[in-house]
């Protein structure tokens, strides 16, 4: 039996592991995919306090190695649920069950799709949810970005430097992104803003060829593009826990800054919990808080 099981190996989970191990307890991190979370796909992080800029992939590797050096254990498996046996938490995975006295859920969130017909069909053939991952395939071509938050603006800025033309499509007339980034994007001569509009159709033969955009006034536009980059928010990965802890209507774990769920001994950290700001620094902050809370619970 482990002292603490951490579900998820992103910045929140890895930070929690460091704090758990330093507190003299043993933790097991269970991760279904690659360690590091979404930050791995960010080529240049420039808003982390105290460090001017760094590669997300390099940062994730250092965080992983730091947790490992402190003695954290790792298991590659997909968590499918949690059962309770008194005070014992049974974490069920596709590779068997694991028991612990406390659990920290740090599953993060994934990109939200537009929900359009053909979206899945063209995934990897024109549709992408990661500009830094796939942008190089569209060098010198015309592309579009959908969204109005920091991720969408950052994607458009990245693509503007390598693509011929970038359309930014946003359903509102105002942006949720940092104003300085928006102004920088507006200064790019190859970027065109299409506001108060939504993508309503994705078309093509073997790969994406064009999209239909419908404005709020009913006007329809057809854009001939090779790539469509979707950045319209995230979906939390908490379905496996819906029967045991409280989730809000969007699927996020209900918890405050103390990272406590409504079940004693189960804590939450990072993008998968209810919060106002989802950034690297807040994920790591949650990781530290949830670890200390979990260690305190054990004592």
* Least trusted range by pLDDT, from 125-139, 140-154, 192-206: 125-139
Of 201, 230, 259, the one marking the end of a domain is: 230
10 Å CB burial of residue 41 (0-12, 13-18, 19+) is middle
pLDDT of residue 113: 93
Of 206, 230, 254, the one marking the end of a domain is: 230
Q: Are residues 52 and 131 in the same domain?
A: no
Above 90 in pLDDT, residue 21? yes
What residues are annotated to the active site?
130, 133-134
Residue of 39 and 256 predicted with greater confidence:
256
* Least trusted range by pLDDT, from 48-52, 102-106, 131-135, 236-240: 131-135
Q: Are residues 217 and 118 in the same domain?
A: yes
Q: Are residues 138 and 225 in the same domain?
A: yes
pLDDT of residue 24: 97
Model confidence at 45, pLDDT cuts 50, 70, 90, reads confident
Q: Are residues 225 and 255 in the same domain?
A: no
265-275 core/surface letters (b: 16 or more CB in 10 A; e: else) = bbbbbbbbbeb
Above 90 in pLDDT, residue 39? no
pLDDT of residue 72: 98
Share of the chain above pLDDT 70, in %: 100
Above 90 in pLDDT, residue 195? yes
Tally of structural domains, the chain: 2
Q: Are residues 122 and 226 in the same domain?
A: yes
Sign (positive/negative) of CA torsion 86, 88, 91, 96? negative
Residue partners of 47: CB distance under 8 A and separation at least 6: 279
Tell me the pLDDT tens digit for each residue of 57-108: 999 999 999 999 999 999 999 999 999 999 999 999 999 999 999 999 999 9
277-283 long-range contacts (CB < 8 A, ≥24 apart) are 278/109, 278/234, 279/47, 280/11, 280/39, 280/45, 280/48, 281/48, 281/49, 283/10, 283/11, 283/12, 283/15, 283/37, 283/106, 283/108
Above 80 in pLDDT, residue 43? no
Q: Are residues 139 and 208 in the same domain?
A: yes
Q: Are residues 35 and 129 in the same domain?
A: no
pLDDT of residue 65: 98
pLDDT of residue 278: 85
E-strand spans in the chain?
A: 2-7, 27-31, 73-76, 79-85, 88-93, 96-105, 109-111, 127-128, 142-146, 165-170, 191-195, 197-204, 208-215, 220-224, 227-230, 234-236, 266-268
Rounded mean pLDDT, 127-146: 92
pLDDT of residue 265: 98
- Residue 196, domain extent: 113-230
Q: Which token pair is 230?
A: 């979707």
């Amino acid at each position: 039996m482990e002292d603490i099981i951490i579900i998820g190996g992103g910045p929140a989970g890895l930070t929690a592991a460091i704090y758990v191990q330093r507190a003299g307890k043993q933790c097991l991190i269970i991760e279904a995919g690659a360690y590091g979370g979404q930050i791995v796909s960010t080529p240049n992080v420039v808003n982390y306090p105290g460090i001017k800029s760094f590669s997300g992939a390099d940062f994730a590797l250092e965080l992983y190695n730091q947790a490992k050096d402190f003695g954290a254990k790792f298991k590659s498996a997909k968590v499918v649920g949690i059962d309770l046996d008194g005070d014992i938490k049974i974490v069920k995975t596709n590779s068997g069950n694991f028991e612990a006295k406390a659990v920290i859920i740090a599953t993060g969130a994934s990109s939200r799709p537009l929900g359009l017909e053909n979206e899945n069909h063209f995934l990897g053939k024109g549709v992408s949810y990661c500009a830094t991952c796939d942008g190089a395939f569209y060098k010198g071509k015309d592309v579009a970005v959908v969204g109005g938050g920091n991720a969408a603006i950052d994607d458009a800025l990245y693509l503007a430097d390598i693509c011929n033309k970038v359309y930014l499509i946003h359903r509102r007339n105002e942006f949720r992104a940092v104003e300085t980034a928006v102004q920088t994007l507006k200064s790019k001569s190859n970027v065109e803003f299409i506001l108060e509009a939504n993508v309503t159709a994705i078309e093509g033969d073997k790969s994406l060829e064009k999209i239909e955009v419908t404005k709020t006034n009913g006007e329809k536009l057809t854009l001939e593009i090779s790539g469509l980059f979707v950045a319209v928010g995230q979906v939390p990965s908490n379905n496996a826990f819906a029967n045991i802890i409280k989730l809000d209507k969007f699927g996020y774990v209900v918890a405050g800054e103390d990272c406590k769920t409504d079940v004693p001994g189960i804590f939450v950290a990072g993008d998968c919990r209810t919060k106002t700001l989802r950034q690297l620094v807040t994920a790591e902050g949650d990781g530290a808080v949830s670890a200390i809370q979990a260690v305190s619970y054990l004592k």
